[in-house]
Chains A and B, each alone.
Chain A
């Protein structure tokens, strides 16, 4: 069974540009989460989808971040315009409907804003 995949693995952009990160969860996992780890800090929750609906987006830093999950399959996280403090590793995770606590993480996308 394929795990959670994320694309790209690395992205280097300039301040003010736009970047879109993609996450493909494990098939059949209704729950999809985005997390972020900035340098030297712990992994922090951004938001949670149940199928295509946003269940909890309390961790989104500001309105420059937009997450979508059309059709309840893959998800995208867009940062527009990117700022220096957005640099970090963005993780996606998914979990089964009945075992939401057991989250499977992707390898992450390392975003560097220069």
Chain B
């Protein structure tokens, strides 16, 4: 079955630097890969989706890459701010035709220090 690994449980970086989070999967290549943000006591919030035929997607200060050869996605936050502190979740579709059943990684807790 598909397994997702996010590089570390926690990442602590200085404000203004670029945060880079890693998501690796072990089995089939998904049709798409998503990144979510989750704050304490709240549900995940959808940030970005990248499809298997896309190498890179950007949204404001966020950038996601998808390498199906390495079975890896990188999530970058440039010019990081303390408000970016949260847990970031990687999620994949299950490869079924409906493509709506997704599986989540355990998340990386990002802390941006002023």
- B-contacting residues of A (Cβ < 8 Å)? 4, 31, 33, 41-45, 48, 55-56, 58-59, 91, 93, 95, 100-108
Contacts and interface: CB of A to CB of B under 8 A. Distances in A.
Contacts, number: 59
Interface residues of B, number: 23
A59 B96 CA distance: 14
A60 to B, nearest CB: 12
Nearest to A47: B101
Interface of B: 4, 32, 34, 36, 41-46, 49, 89, 93, 98-107
A53 to B, nearest CB: 12
B43 A105 contact: yes
A48 B43 contact: no
A60 B102 CA distance: 14
